[in-house]
Amino acid sequence: MLKAMKITLILLLFAAINFLSIVPVSALNIAVYVPEKYTDVEAGERFYFEIEIKYPENPRRKDLRLEYQILKDDEVIAQSQVLKAVETQASFVDFIVIPESAETGLHLINIKVSDYENLSEEVSASLQVIKKPG
């Protein structure tokens, strides 16, 4: 009798833990790709990159806000925001202008994708700002 109660208690505890661990998760996946031609970019020029968004659980078109930031040593030197309507997936090329005043060296592009609720994902890639020839 005591052994049966222990087994029942363990099974109930196991079921409760499994039930509590079920958390609704949105499967939003984003990636950024920098074409080889744009890994080195001059200050004042456009920096092109490709964004891939996969949102397989999305049943209908949804407006997503994309915020682009160019960072140098954790300081934002350029930023831009766009709005894109996405269903289950999207892939597109976009750009941001690197300011004329940007220092040479390693920079990051940080892309944040969010909706008007609680969905939010970020991704980053590096680029090299170089001097203009001449």
CATH number at residue 36: 2.60.40.150
How many domains is the chain partitioned into structurally?
A: 1
Residue 26's pLDDT is what? 57
- The answer to the question of residue 108 being in a domain is yes
Residue 127's pLDDT is what? 96
Residue 56's pLDDT is what? 84
- The answer to the question of residue 5 being in a domain is no
- The answer to the question of residue 17 being in a domain is no
Residue 24's pLDDT is what? 46
Residue 11's pLDDT is what? 58
- The answer to the question of residue 106 being in a domain is yes
Residue 43's pLDDT is what? 94
Q: What is the pLDDT tens value at each position of the chain, 134 positions in all? A: 666 665 665 655 555 565 544 444 557 889 999 999 999 999 999 999 999 999 888 778 889 999 999 999 999 999 999 999 888 889 999 999 999 999 999 999 999 999 888 888 999 999 999 987 76
pTM for this one?
Answer: 0.76
Q: Find the domain containing 44 and state its range.
A: 26-130
- The answer to the question of residue 69 being in a domain is yes
- The answer to the question of residue 47 being in a domain is yes
One-letter amino acid of 74: D
- The answer to the question of residue 98 being in a domain is yes
